[in-house]
Amino acid sequence: MKLDRHLYNHPKMVVGGCLSTLLYAYYNNIPVLFTTPKPPFIFDDVVIRSPEHFGFQTKAKVPQIYLWEKLMFFLSLKGLIFGSDLLRSIRIEEENTLKITTEFSRLAKVNFENLFVFDAEQITGLENPPEIASKHHVVIDWFNVRQGSKHDKTHLLYEDRFINEVWFFRSKRSSYQDRKDCVARSFLTQNQIASDNYTETIARIKLRRLLKEVIDVKFIELEHAGREVYYSYKPKKSEQPNITYLFDSPQKIIDFYKESEIRPNKHYVQLFSSGRNSSSRF
């Protein structure tokens, strides 16, 4: 029988490429489906409350991006990343069947009993998908510092929601160890994100003005290097009985599970030492 005609069967599956998805899959030992991996922001942390879990110290604060990379590797070793990173579309074809297309236009079908969805953008065929919430969303703006990259600042915090926090990190574009690029986090509504008053260009102009107030250099020149938007969604129940929408944060999922439930996996996940610089984003 050809593989593209084979019908896979999984009692439970989870959809999404974020850290919450990987944690839920890890704790429940179920396969993950995603078309787009969604690593967390590199300066967001999570507190590990179970030392037997990932081999960290009790209540150790670790970068979310490091935990995401670690879980992605571990789940891959266990065969729980369905289709690896080759999935291109996921669709609910019938009440309990997923139609999946992969790279090179290959096809797979999966029967499931329960489907848990963290990221509704990565699957089609949902009867009532979650809607974007009216509250503020996280907007990340990356900047290359072309001039004024040599200083002692590492973090800035402001009261304004537009350019609320700024982090500085060693630039990979320069061979000099003391040259820094930066990234800014804002909290904007959906209307603000679409407005001309909050574009990448306006963010660059505002950040340049803010940096001139605190960095003792003659010239500051910024180049916008990319924007990422992390939308928040309205919690709701699915109208399809075998589909559940989940909105829990990584910290809430970690806090929910107890040390005794994850101890058998200890010898796998203690292969690595923690550190923010382990992230490939730097």
Tell me, what's the pLDDT at 56?
Answer: 63
Instruction: Print the domain residue range for 46.
Output: 3-131+233-278
Three-state secondary-structure class, residue 155: strand
Q: Say if residue 119 is in the same domain as residue 240.
A: yes
The CATH number given to whatever domain includes residue 161 is: 3.30.70
Range in 5-9, 12-16, 148-152 the model is least confident about: 5-9
Query: Where is pLDDT greater, at 164 or 52?
Result: 164
Q: Say if residue 37 is in the same domain as residue 78.
A: yes
Q: Say if residue 150 is in the same domain as residue 84.
A: no
Q: Say if residue 7 is in the same domain as residue 110.
A: yes
Tally Cβ neighbours within 10 Å of residue 185.
Answer: 20
Instruction: Tell me how far apart the alpha carbons of residues 140 and 221 are, in angstroms, rounded to a whole number.
Output: 19
Are residues 200 and 224 in contact, defined by beta-carbon separation less than 8 angstroms? yes
Instruction: Tell me how far apart the alpha carbons of residues 160 and 270 are, in angstroms, rounded to a whole number.
Output: 41
- What are 90-119's pLDDT values in tens digits? 999 888 899 988 877 788 888 999 999 999
Tell me, what's the pLDDT at 214?
Answer: 92
> CA 234 → CA 118, 155, 163, 189, 204, distances in Å?
12, 31, 25, 14, 31
Q: Say if residue 237 is in the same domain as residue 226.
A: no
Q: Say if residue 261 is in the same domain as residue 225.
A: no
Tell me, what's the pLDDT at 51?
Answer: 56
- What are 195-224's pLDDT values in tens digits? 999 999 999 999 999 999 999 888 999 999
Instruction: Tell me how far apart the alpha carbons of residues 55 and 65 are, in angstroms, rounded to a whole number.
Output: 16
| pLDDT beyond 60 at 260 | no
Tell me, what's the pLDDT at 69?
Answer: 93
Tell me, what's the pLDDT at 266?
Answer: 45
Maximum CA extent, the chain:
70
Tell me, what's the pLDDT at 61?
Answer: 85
- What are 18-59's pLDDT values in tens digits? 999 999 999 999 999 999 999 999 999 998 876 556 666 666
Q: Say if residue 81 is in the same domain as residue 212.
A: no
The tally of domains found in the chain comes to: 2
Q: Say if residue 36 is in the same domain as residue 51.
A: yes
Q: Say if residue 218 is in the same domain as residue 237.
A: no
Instruction: Tell me how far apart the alpha carbons of residues 27 and 254 are, in angstroms, rounded to a whole number.
Output: 9
Which two structure tokens, joined as six digits, stand for 44? 């967001």
Q: Which of 164, 205, 207, 160 is nearest to 182 (CA)?
A: 207
Bridge-partner residues for 60, per DSSP? 48
Tally Cβ neighbours within 10 Å of residue 102.
Answer: 17
Tell me, what's the pLDDT at 58?
Answer: 62
Query: Where is pLDDT greater, at 84 or 108?
Result: 108
Q: Say if residue 33 is in the same domain as residue 107.
A: yes
Element (H, E) at 244: strand 243-245
The average confidence (pLDDT) of the chain is 86
| pLDDT beyond 60 at 150 | yes
Q: Say if residue 10 is in the same domain as residue 120.
A: yes
The CATH number given to whatever domain includes residue 111 is: 3.50.50
Tell me, what's the pLDDT at 107?
Answer: 83
Q: Say if residue 146 is in the same domain as residue 28.
A: no
Tell me, what's the pLDDT at 271?
Answer: 38
